[in-house]
Amino acid sequence: MGWLDGYSAVVTGAGSGLGKAIVGRFLTEGANVVAFDKSGEKLSALKTHHGDAVETVTGDVRSIEDNKRACERAIEKFGKLDTFVGNAGLWDFNRTLTDTPSELLEAGFDELFGVNVKGYVLGAKAAIPALQASGGSIVLTLSNASFFSGGGGGPLYVASKHAGVGLVKQLAYELAPRVRVNAVAPGGMDTDLRGPDALGLSNTAIGQAFPIGEVMKQRSALHFEPAPEDYVAAYVLLAAKSQSRTVTGSVFDVSSFGTPTRPSGG
Ligand SMILES: NC(=O)c1ccc[n+]([C@@H]2O[C@H](COP(=O)([O-])OP(=O)(O)OC[C@H]3O[C@@H](n4cnc5c(N)ncnc54)[C@H](O)[C@@H]3O)[C@@H](O)[C@H]2O)c1
């Protein structure tokens, strides 16, 4: 028996990287999943791999209608919604404010905050009625950049992931006692993570532009390169009411960046 037996979940940004790994693990734990992503191609591959256990919805997390479609699909197909995982995100490739051309800044900010912050707000809004009915929960993907500066990203990304902490805390307050709201803060991993098109950062993935594996080996306290799958147990724990019914308003830092790195590397 899995920790999520009979659960119905929506996962945004489910087409690759961490979202794809969350989908795989939720299925293993007994959940049914609606995978929501802007990439129809990635979703087709996911569907081919997992079959009927996964429903797919192609859409943009910056649209309330698309978020509603994803939540409605969960109810249509699985009869309810227990867990909404907000996960789709964009990175800024450590672009400094100084080096961001003024003429690109407004659109770049809007695009990154549109996905990383507005996408979570709209997803929560779309999911609330069904989560209130089921006594379910929201789990958001944040980042080591939710706590620290000087490593996790430039000012746009760091600000967006700090905003996520405020959103978790305020929604946990607003939705208690019926709906729990928590987040997982992973560290670096080699995924298809892109940046805002408006900043010219949409054509390269994090691992192609940045030695993310080496950074994790050298700068995280545990000195290894995590795969997306290494982070997903925290989502299962926070989604499973039987395992975390006392937990709301918390951000689970699974990044190993919160502990200073020993120079010897252990
Ligand atoms: N990769 C890392 O080093 C790292 C570190 C810490 C936190 N994170 C966070 O993990 C989350 C997942 O990122 P990932 O690394 O797996 O990247 P990824 O690009 O592999 O996965 C993100 C998915 O979101 C989708 N997406 C992007 N914009 C969308 C939109 N507007 N509407 C719908 N879907 C959209 C993409 O198509 C993609 O499939 C993000 O929130 C990211 O900030 C990543």
How far is it, in rounded angstroms, from Cα 120 to Cα 234? Answer: 18
Beta-sheet strand order (sheet of 137-141): 54-58, 32-37, 8-12, 83-86, 137-141, 180-185, 251-253
| Residue 7 annotated among the catalytic residues of the structure | no
pLDDT the model gives residue 151: 74
Closest atom, ligand 1, to C-alpha of 62:
31
Residues 187, 221 contacting (CB under 8 angstroms): no
First to last CA, the chain: 37
Least confident residue range of 48-52, 74-78, 116-120, 165-169: 48-52
Q: Does position 187 have pLDDT exceeding 60, yes or no?
A: yes
- CA 14 to ligand 1 center in whole angstroms: 8
pLDDT the model gives residue 264: 56
Task: Determine if residue 153 is left, alpha or beta; phi over 0 gives left, psi from -120 to 50 gives alpha, anything else beta.
Answer: left
**148, 158, 191, 257, best to mutate for ligand 1 pocket (most atoms within 8 Å of CB):** 191
How far is it, in rounded angstroms, from Cα 33 to Cα 46? Answer: 11
Second CATH level (architecture) for the domain 8-253 = 3-Layer(aba) Sandwich (3.40)
pLDDT the model gives residue 257: 84
Question: Is 230 in a helix, a strand, or coil?
Answer: helix
How far is it, in rounded angstroms, from Cα 166 to Cα 17? Answer: 25
- CA 52 to ligand 1 center in whole angstroms: 24
User: What's the mean per-residue pLDDT of the chain?
Assistant: 95
Q: Which residue has the higher pLDDT, 212 or 124?
A: 124
Q: Does position 266 have pLDDT exceeding 50, yes or no?
A: no
Q: Does position 74 have pLDDT exceeding 70, yes or no?
A: yes
Q: And the tokens for 253?
A: 């830092």
Residues 230, 245 contacting (CB under 8 angstroms): no
Average pLDDT over residues 28-42: 98
- CA 87 to ligand 1 center in whole angstroms: 6
Q: Does position 155 have pLDDT exceeding 50, yes or no?
A: yes
Which amino acid residue places its CA nearest to atom 3 of ligand 1? 188
